[in-house]
A = this chain, B = another copy of it.
Amino acid sequence: MKPNFSLRLRVFNLNCWGIPYLSKHRADRVKRLGDFLNRESFDLALLEEVWSEQDFQYLRQKLLPTYPAAHYFRSGIIGSGLCVFSKHPIQEFTQHVFTLNGYPYMIHHGDWFCGKAVGLLVLRLGGLVLNAYVTHLHAEYNRQKDIYLAHRVAQAWELAQFIHHTSKKADVVLLCGDLNLHPKDLGCRLLKEWTGLQDAYLETRDFKGPEEGCTMVPQNCYVNRQELEQFPLGIRIDYVLYKAVSGLYISCKTLRTTTGHEPHSGSPLSDHEALMATLCVRHSPPQHNPSPTHGPAERSPLISVLREAWTELDQGMAQGRWWATIAGYVIGLGLLLLALLCALAARGEIREVAVLLWTPSVGLVLAAGAFYLFHVQEAKGLCRARAELQHVLGRAREAQDLGPESQPAGLLGQQEGDRAEEQ
């Protein structure tokens, strides 16, 4: 690698809103997306909500000359919806499916059936190892009363841990995706603090797009206006995040976000806006230290965000256990009812009613049993994330008590070192 080495990386991210039979003008939008990607010839295009594998196969064929490498991340019952197209060969790929992802009985929300995940691609570009991650976290259906909050925080933690543990030898780390988290939301802060990833929107000096970098805007004709009632400008839930390690410097030269319509044809590609970032990796520090021009790069300290996440997971755990207990009582009552019905039928009293009620009672016991098992598993999953988080919190506190100069090597993992190198 030459000392004046510089790598330019053009990245595209879009939540494609590709739900078969439900998303409007899907076929047309997928076709236009293919044309757009071919025209723009990015280094990497990372897509979410490509729920139909046929759509992926169509894009794969269409994009083959420009993006010879592609991968579709399969998981769960429906799939993760994640896929990637790359101009450069993909060295390796793998994925991690989130332990918690909503509730199977919330069929109308459907997230549980999707198998939400994070996909990892390892690429070699100009002698550098690039770990590119693409993800999509659980949707937020009701911001005021969000029953999925603990799950989303656990997902953000698992995502951060997956990146932390799999990127230790990477030179450049890139994360794109629909986090379903606003910039100041707990999950977003947790992810950034624990991985040391920087937010392209906050770091770039050259941003063009909707106000406040929103990626779901009321100008987009596919957007559900009711969801944006509280946010007249829109919301920012799709991200390009990055960091460089081992003495390299990365900066976001430009960030473009569509503004409710595709730049060429005018019609939107999805109900989300596309992000297009040009990143620059160098050996020497950038000429001008990039500073935020349109928003403060807020970074709550690691300890406070870990403490906040710990509380959230703890509350989720208590809730999970509460539901399991309720289900336990229902199972007990159902079994009592069954015994009573059997006794009545045996004694010949109201035999017909007893026989009629027997099967629904069995159904009730079975359903409560499934509900019980699900919430036991939920509590275990949250407990696992809380334990990991607590360990990191303990070590972060130790490091703080010892002071920054006397931090034992390896404390807080790698990212503290990375940040020091980046600064």
Contact = CB atoms under 8 A, between A and B. Distances in A.
A65 to B, nearest CB: 20
Contact of A360 (B99, B161, B359, B376): B359
Contacts of A359: 359-360, 363
A99 B373 CA distance: 18
B79 A413 contact: no
A340 interface: no
Given A93-B388, A355-B356, A391-B90, A377 B77 contact: yes
Interface stretch (A29-37, A148-156, A378-386): A378-386
Contacts of A360: 359
Interface in A275-305: none
A384 B74 contact: yes
Given A165-B120, A359-B359, A413 B91 contact: yes
B166 A76 contact: no
Given A355-B356, A373-B77, A129 B95 contact: no
A168 interface: yes
Interface in A79-130: 79, 90-97, 99, 113, 115, 120, 122, 124, 127, 129
Interface in A348-362: 355-356, 359-360, 362
A184 interface: no
Contacts of A410: 91, 122, 124, 129
Nearest to A363: B363
A194 to B, nearest CB: 11
For the side of the interface on A, what is the size category?
A: 35 or more
Given A77-B376, A363-B359, A410-B124, A388 B94 contact: yes
A74 B154 CA distance: 14
Contacts of A356: 355-356
Contacts of A71: 387, 391
B74 A380 contact: yes
Contacts of A373: 77, 113
Contacts of A414: 169
A-B pairs, top 5 by smallest CB distance, nearest first, are A168-B169, A359-B359, A74-B384, A165-B166, A74-B380
Given A92-B391, A94-B161, 10 more contacts: A71-B387, A73-B384, A74-B380, A79-B380, A91-B410, A94-B388, A113-B373, A127-B409, A129-B410, A356-B356
10 contacts: A75-B99, A76-B377, A77-B377, A77-B380, A91-B413, A115-B380, A129-B410, A169-B414, A356-B356, A362-B363
